[in-house]
Amino acid sequence: MSDQNPVFIPGPTNIPDRLRAAMNIQTRDHRAPDFVETFAPVLEDTKKVFKTTEGKIITFPASGTGGWEATICNTLSPGDKVLVARYGMFSHKWIDMCQRHGLDVHIVECPWGSGAPADKFEAILSADKEHAIKAVLVTHNETATGVKSDIGAVRTAMDAAAHPAMLFVDCVSSLGSMPFHMDDWGVDVAVSGSQKGFMLATGMAILAVSPKALAAMETAGLHRTFFDFRDMMKANASGGFPYTPPLQLIYGMRESLKMLFEEGLDNVYARHTRLAEGVRRAVDAWGMNLVAQSPDLYSDTVSAIYVPGGFNSNALTEHAFTKYGVSFGVGLGEMDGKAFRIGHLGSLTDAMVLSGIATIEMAMADLNYPIKLGSGVAAAQEFLRSGNDTSIKSAA
Ligand SMILES: *Cc1c(COP(=O)(O)O)cnc(C)c1O
């Protein structure tokens, strides 16, 4: 089987050759002076992707899940109340982690396919006169359902309630692919990882932390050692690391930032919107429905698509992999068997996305789905060839 086939899972994403080469470096001494010269500018430049000037970038050798844990353990104490809405597998898993750490989790249950309910948050926060709620946790892009939540609206709701809780945002599958405005949205900790929008191998949790969250760190009672922000910041201040850093990922990160800035972040976002719209046109042509309930919720990095009644989405993704060697996202949690996902983030061009649509279409035809072969491809082609003059330049 060829390894040239791109993956259409919503992370880890395809690694461009340029980044594979950047990560292919011999071991170097992380206590030598040249590590300082490499690492410090990477931290500084990463701020531009989070759109923060006030925040501190903190990285750990971990996946995004480690980033969640670092966030809560550095800012909260056992028994602290946090407010979270559950509307997909990733919000669900963050809730589970908070509960296992002994936090008092106020859960707002929402249908899968909806997003963060800013209006409900406002009502709950307004009623919390004693300010028992210490943090609001939001998954910006729910990768299980292809739903993007409006973080600005959550901030507006918190402000309207005049509530001092911190705002923690999981932007693992949105950062570097969809607009993110840490400072403007008043985000206190934003959590991302190396293997999605940054197009790198998995292994680095990437966080941006506000001054308010850093102040909370001083009194936070949850235990942490490996994930202690203080040890990391103390070592980073002189360009070092409190333990062995993931050197190859740091070199990869330097090149990834270069790629994102060369294309221009706004062009990167526009490319993702265009590719996503191409996929959505195909879904519409198939007569199928997105899990995301309304256009304002549509994610530009992943589309979750309901299969027709009587079909099993996992049989479809398995067939696409077995017969064509191409991976698509399976249905997670409540979507198990009901929806498959097309990841369209990171290093992707129009032509790559068309190949993904064509492949899943063949797989659906093989399994006797009620679709017309070529209909989705044609709809995406019609959209992608119109008014598109950025794709060549942006070919990652
Ligand atoms: C991928 C992802 C994560 C992190 O998962 P890891 O496998 O731990 O890197 C967290 N949240 C969302 C929304 C994600 O898509």
Contact (CB, 8 A) for 322 and 1:
no
Closest C-alpha residue for ligand 1 atom 12: 172
Counting from 1 in the atom list of ligand 1, the atom nearest the Cα of 88 is 13
Summarised one tens digit per residue, pLDDT across range 63-116 is: 999 999 999 999 999 999 999 999 999 999 999 999 999 999 999 999 999 999
Of the pLDDT bands very low, low, confident and very high (cuts 50, 70, 90), residue 388 is low
- Reading the block at residue 129, the tokens are 């006169």
- In angstroms, the CA 290 to CA 284 distance is 9
Ligand 1 mean position, distance from CA 170 (Å): 8
Vertex 297, ends 184 and 293: CA angle to 5°?
Answer: 155
- Whole-model pTM above 0.75? yes
Query: Which parts of 187-269 are beta strand (E)?
Result: 189-193, 204-209
- In angstroms, the CA 378 to CA 168 distance is 41
- In angstroms, the CA 154 to CA 152 distance is 5
Summarised one tens digit per residue, pLDDT across range 281-319 is: 999 999 999 999 999 999 999 999 999 999 999 999 999
Closest C-alpha residue for ligand 1 atom 5: 64
Q: Taking the mean position of all CA atoms in its chain, how far away is CA 192? A: 6
Contact (CB, 8 A) for 136 and 166:
yes
Is residue 391's pLDDT more than 60? Answer: no
Query: Which phi and psi angles does 193 have, rounded to 5°?
Result: -150, 170
Closest C-alpha residue for ligand 1 atom 3: 64
Q: What CA–CA distances, in Å, run from 7 to 75, 207, 226, 279, 341?
A: 36, 26, 32, 15, 11
Q: Provide residues with CB under 6 Å of ligand 1.
A: 11, 63-65, 90, 139, 141, 143, 170, 172-173, 193
Contact (CB, 8 A) for 195 and 63:
yes
Ligand 1 mean position, distance from CA 94 (Å): 10
Closest C-alpha residue for ligand 1 atom 4: 64
Summarised one tens digit per residue, pLDDT across range 181-214 is: 999 999 999 999 999 999 999 999 999 999 999 9
Q: How many residues does the chain have?
A: 396
pLDDT of residue 387: 65
Contact (CB, 8 A) for 198 and 347:
no
Of the pLDDT bands very low, low, confident and very high (cuts 50, 70, 90), residue 396 is very low
Exposed / middle / buried, residue 168 (Cβ in 10 Å: 0-12, 13-18, 19+) = buried
Summarised one tens digit per residue, pLDDT across range 244-282 is: 999 999 999 999 999 999 999 999 999 999 999 999 999
Task: Characterize 170-191 residue by residue with b for buried, 16 or more Cβ atoms within 10 angstroms of its Cβ, and e for exposed.
Answer: bbbbbbbbbbbebeebbbbbbb
